[in-house]
Amino acid sequence: TISILWFRRDLRLADHPALLAAVDSSDEVLPVFVRDPVLLARGGVRAERLEASLAALSADTGGALIVRTGEPAAVIAELAETVGADQVHVSRESTPYGRRRDDRVRRALAGDGRELVETGSPYAVGPGRVLNKSGEPYRVFTPFARAWHDHGWPEPGDRPDDISWAADPDSGASEDVDPGPGGAGRGGEAGEQAALARWREFLHEDLTSYGDQRDRPDLDTTSRLSVHLKYGEIHPRTILAELADHPGSDSEGARRFVTELAWREFYADVLWHRPRSAWRDLRDTLEGMDYDEGPETAALVEAWQQGLTGYPFVDAGMRQLRAEGWMHNRVRMVTASFLVKDLHVWWPSGARYFLDHLRDGDLASNNHGWQWVAGTGTDASPYFRVFNPVTQGVKFDPDGDYVRRWIPELAHLSGAAAHEPWRAADGYDHGYPERIVDHAEERRETLRRYDRARGDG
């Protein structure tokens, strides 16, 4: 007998519950990836990174991985029929599009008496499973994280010793994968082996200092696992299990790190229960909020996208995003806040831009991260909290190293002076732009708009 393993956000062979289920249920497993034109329509850097990950997976399966392009329900149903597979195994998907797609695939298969079998998910605890005592989902993070922790997670599954991969039934239709340049910078390499190596390097070298250093983009010592988690090159359960066995598992760094993984799980859970929150305000408290649009705003947004706002910390982040397809978490918060609270743009437009440019672009983490900054999401920070792009820079990049790394026009300013070129006589000598808005004034404007929207003004 043959079963199909349809890979999606789980491009690995170890600790892969759906793979284990496929191996258990049949003599041979046909490994398939479907390039879905709907998902590939945007986000060129993600598509490029996906190719690199597929190339690694293909090598790990000894070249057995079959890649096809098309509407997944049609491709999968046809393959299942051709090889006579009664079961198609997948990891359970939790995004709105993924769930609709899987419903279509399930129906297409059921028409021929075949089954879509869901085992496991890209999360330590499947989205939707952590509920409070009344059976309701959690709406704020801290009680969720506690319950998630108490829920616990199964031990990682082994990598099956020897898998009999089935041969491509139509090798003429087989598509190549293009590993590409392999991605830039540290953590840029793709695939399961690279993910495990990155995780273990972080565990041994940077975990204990994570508590103190995680907010410092200049030090750049966070795990950079987001991109590996995005493609499922490593399962979070593997990370949590190895962490628990590590001597530093009681450290503040380890606790903080688990909390960050819990945010990823929480946002996926929120999206599972409230799929509309991907693109709409989660809370309606700011329903009447005025946002700007039109040509003048478009020019400001363009400056933000290009890293030319005249605020060094913001510009460094936006340039890192374009160069690396990744940005440090602290800088994601500050750049997002700048768009929403200094330029008065509704958060979905920034979330869209981030998703199009991040290699780790993930609907749940990104869009709920934006909602958190905008004050419309879970755990909304108080509405009067507006990040100051200058003091944030001075605090979290105290020597200006991060700014100089990304902004050559400021390389001549030493130390923290790089955060305030307007104070230096030669600050603008190398072409760095003047500030496009006055932060103090825009902050007051944001607060006025909030007050009006809340009916206090």
Using CB under 6 A as the criterion, which residues of the chain lie in contact with ligand FAD when the complex forms? 214, 222-226, 229-230, 260-261, 263-264, 267, 328-329, 332-333, 336, 354, 358, 360-362, 365-366, 369-370, 373
Instruction: Tell me the closest approach of the beta carbon of residue 399 to ligand FAD, in angstroms.
Output: 21
323/108 Cα distance (integer angstroms): 42
Q: Which two three-digit tokens encode residue 321?
A: 């995003």
Smallest distance from ligand FAD to CB 123, Å: 10
Smaller CB separation from ligand FAD, 52 or 145: 145
Least distance in angstroms from the C-beta of 189 to ligand FAD: 14
Nearest to 57 by CA among 102, 96, 2, 13: 13
Spatial separation of the C-alpha atoms in residues 23 and 14, rounded to whole Å: 13
* Residue showing the smallest CB distance to ligand FAD in the complex: 369
What's the min distance (Å) between Cβ of 252 and ligand FAD? Answer: 14
Min dist CB 306 to ligand FAD, Å, is 18
Tokens of 122: 């890209």
Considering beta carbons, is residue 312 or 361 the nearer one to ligand FAD?
A: 361
Q: How far is CA 408 from the centre of its chain?
A: 28
Nearer to ligand FAD, 206 or 409 (CB): 206
- Residue with Cβ nearer ligand FAD (309 or 366): 366
Residue among 278 and 336 whose Cβ is closer to ligand FAD: 336
- Between 49 and 114, CB nearer to ligand FAD: 49
Q: How far is the CB of 375 from ligand FAD (least distance, A)?
A: 13
**Looking at beta carbons only, is 241 or 424 nearer to ligand FAD?**
241
User: Of 239 and 403, which CB lies nearer to ligand FAD in the complex structure?
Assistant: 239
Q: How far is the CB of 380 from ligand FAD (least distance, A)?
A: 13
Q: Which is nearer to ligand FAD, 85 or 225 (CB)?
A: 225
Q: How far is the CB of 245 from ligand FAD (least distance, A)?
A: 18
CB of 431 to ligand FAD, least distance (A): 28
Cross-strand pairs, 131: 137
| CA nearest to 323, candidates 348, 347, 340, 306 | 306
By C-alpha distance, which of 354, 362, 366, 359 is closest to 94?
362
3 or 223, CB closer to ligand FAD?
A: 223
Q: Which is nearer to ligand FAD, 8 or 230 (CB)?
A: 230
Taking the complex as a whole, the smallest distance from the CB of residue 261 to ligand FAD amounts, in Å, to 5
In the complex, the smallest distance separating the C-beta of residue 300 from ligand FAD, rounded to whole angstroms, is: 18
